Amino acid sequence: MTAVTIDLNDQEIINALGRLAYSANHLEPALDEIGATIAASVMLNFTGQHDPDGNAWEPLSEATLANRRGGEGQILRDTGRLNRSITHNVSDQSVEIGTDVVYANMMQFGGKKADFPWLWGDIPERPFVGISEEDKAEILAILSHHLDRSIG
């Protein structure tokens, strides 16, 4: 096999490669933007009363409506605490989107009265956290923007 070596001594390209390498090891700005975008998308799920893919949540039961404190009949919006708690946390290589509200898992995944006797009835799953195809496209656009900016 014949090998050819070409030495490239172009400062502009070398600087762009350096910025690209730096960006690859410092993902926090891109991850923070992704986290904020997905957290906003999750909040829109509450407003639209649907899962991340746009499928409507199961309506509230009569028992739930009878026990409501507020929320004007909106699903998962009795006091608004869960909706207001959605946030994101960024580390060096990851972003988490979620909530610290203890009953969030029950609302996301549902629960059966047989397993949780203190419930007044079964709770259907009403996923509010997730990534839709639109979210995925937005994530890819954010990453593309940060990549373009890093070598820019």
| SS3 label, residue 80 | coil
55-105 pLDDT tens trace: 999 999 888 888 887 667 789 988 889 999 999 999 988 899 999 999 999
Range of lowest pLDDT (1-5, 81-85, 106-110) = 1-5
pLDDT above 70: residue 126: yes
Residue entry with tokens 């195809």: 133
Averaged pLDDT of the chain:
88
Report the alpha-carbon distance of residue 49 to residue 59 in Å, rounded. 9
How many other β-carbons are positioned within 10 Å of the β-carbon of residue 45?
23
Question: What sign has the CA pseudo-torsion 28, 33, 38, 44?
Answer: positive
Global pTM reads 0.81
| pLDDT given for residue 3 in this prediction | 67
Burial class (CB in 10 A: 0-12, 13-18, 19+), 62: exposed
> CA distances (Å), 135 to each of 32, 40, 41, 116, in order?
14, 10, 8, 34
